Structure 1
Amino acid sequence: MTGRESAETVDAQHHQTPMGRLAEVLRRDTVGGFLLLGAALLALVWANSPWSDGYEILGDTQVGADVFGLHLDLSLSAWAADGLLAIFFFVVGLELKREFVAGDLRDPRRAALPVAAAVGGMMVPAALFIAVTYRQGADAMQGWAIPAATDIAFAIAILAVVATHLPVALRTFLLTLAVVDDLLAITIIAVFYSDSIDLTFLGLAVIPLVLFAILVQRRITSWWLLVPLAGLTWTFVHESGVHATVAGVLLGFTVPVLRAGTTGDRDDGPGLAERFEHTIRPLSSGVAVPVFAFFAAGVAFGGVGGLVSALQEPVAMGIVAGLVIGKVVGIFGTTWLVASVTPASLDSSLKWVDVIGAAMLAGIGFTVSLLIGELAFAGDPDRQEYVKVGVLFGSVVSATLATVLLRSRNRHYRRQYEHEVRDRSVLPVE
């Protein structure tokens, strides 16, 4: 039995177990999206109930200890944002590397439009946010990156629900755009939203990171070696002042994408990046992201009047404008401009109205937007509340508009498909 056959046999056997079947369910785009939505709704209901104090107490509960000079005594909400989201960003790092090494981003001609769309989809929302909050001063404008982010899990989940007949190229375009968007968001977090950098701890983080890289490059996958090294990398990055989620991305970048047999030496089956992503995605989409959403999304509206009042705040207005309007203008406008002045072109199966639908989906900021909001206004709890209101409202509006448009496009493509099938069925048989 070859190594690949053995791996596939073990994987098939694993799927027969209850945990294996649960993991397979959690890998589905729609399930992850619904868990994320459910966690956010639960937080909103609890935060606006008579028992809202319990929600605040739970989030502020301290867990951990300061050991060997390391500040690991964090609240549950901080562990969710700094610790659990590092798992999510590890999967993002794996996806990014796969796209650059073996995906659409490897071919500059195919990558040109979604990359340009991602850049435009960040610049225009940021500019709108600054324009809306300009009179509030520099403190308010430091949240400029909040509406620039896209929530891959949520956007792809909605597309999966409505895309029974939509072109596959639309999902590829959106996924590539969102992956580049994540790369830009990670860079923004590392550069603009990290505290003063402690170079000593940053240097210490390199040691376990390099050891982790050496092991995975040699295809050594023993969890008792890799998990402690990943934990040390995360700890030192956290202590350095760089946001700890960056550690997840860096670890993901070290994992090889191509199969070992690509060079002709041997065939280990799928590359480690694909195997790691397959293994860790259920933990990311089923636990890490929903738990973060639960602790991040709980905002007390104080009734309809409180919600309306919060939405009138410049910070919330800037976020909503950026997500709902800025994303569409930035993504569609940049894509059309690049396609008009360069050899890059839209996939033949897509229409420009489909790009508008993808741009609306990209207006679902949620996870990364909430994270950036916490970092941007770390010392301003009032503005943090406005951020939550703006992100939630803007994401819901974007998701609703995208669903309406894409369902209409899905009906169009379904009718087109049915006509083609009917035409083929009436052709004379030669």
Structure 2
Amino acid sequence: MDLSLLAPLLIVVLFGALAAGLWVGFALIAVGLVAMAAASSAPVSLVFATKVWGGLTVWDLTALPMFIWMGEILVRSRLSAEMFSGLAPFTARLPGRLLHVNVLGCALFAAVSGSSAATTATIGRMSVPELTRRGYDPRMVIGTLAGSGTFGFLIPPSIILIVYGAATEQSIARLFLAGVVPGLMLAALFSGYIMLWSAFNRDRMPEDEPATSRGEALRAMARLLPVVGLILAVIGSIYAGIASPTEAAVIGVAGALLLAWATGAMDRAGFFDALRAATVTTCMICFILAGAAFLTVAMGYTGIPRQLAAWIGGMGLSPFTLLAALTVFFIVMGMFLDGISIVVLTVSIILPMVTQAGIDPIWFGVFLVLVVEMSQITPPVGFNLFVLQTITGRDIFAIARYALPFFGLLVLAVALLTLFPGIALWLPGTMLSK
């Protein structure tokens, strides 16, 4: 079939399958089957079996279920609530006061969960009722939470960075290091915006609360110690070279179980509930990876990626223009697909063009995750929006409006990362230079 007809047909099949409610992984497989039938006489069953097996038997992916399970344990434990109360006294004197708890809480929880949806749900269940009760503007409460919940994609241990590393054969440890400084930069941008907003909207802020005593501050610090200890155990073991990402994930699960048991926050039913939820999430991601692996080889048979690369290469785009075009492309994709689907569906086609333009694949992984973070707060398919809709009962498009300033800050973060690539490359270059 002529490529000018095949490419539109595959797009129609993909979005038709998604609109019909087919799971993303199976929708990708359906597109691959159509592509193979239209463009190749190769044995489909043999190609499918080979690529699915090869796509899933990747050692780096073994960290995935462990990090997901660790996050599910913490969602059901008392540690998340103690983390919220532990952060509150340290933000009371900042402009914007307790609104910063959403930013700092999401940053801390992202460092032990690796999931954007889990971060938003866990912090949201605690902060939305509490901040609303204290008189904070619900629109700002929801907006800060929607934006800050995206930290789960970037701050290590990030599930999506593991998926990217496995798909592109890049070092997971190096990707984790590359995500640290951009994650901190994004948290600083969000907190800075909160300070500016509170300065210009004093009438929408509640009355000042009583000052925190030194004893209360010390007790709050003690509440943070378990979470901080778990972060140091997981991330520190990777950066110190003591453990691989997979081994660190096992350490994280063991630490989360130990802390949940020590605080009496998890019983037998809770244990199996966390295990079941982690299994479901892992299987969902594996179906997507399997479908993407098959679709990748099927697209190779069609010749579409080669022609696309040749077309873009023939345009003579500079690296900056290419990244600007990719940013728009990924934002549009994010309106219809979740972040992991975007990465596994596009990276095999996009990465050769990126490396040919002289762009570092580690840096591009962080860039891609930052852009994909935007998909979490863009309707109609924004996972963070769905989570907050469940928590607050508000219309998903209203939540998207509240999150719009933070979408703009994500765009600013992408621009800063592009202008100053050392933001992502400095730490892995320094710590893994030997």
**One fold, TM greater than 0.5?**
no
Q: How does the TM-score come out when normalised to structure 1?
A: 0.26
TM-score (norm 2): 0.26
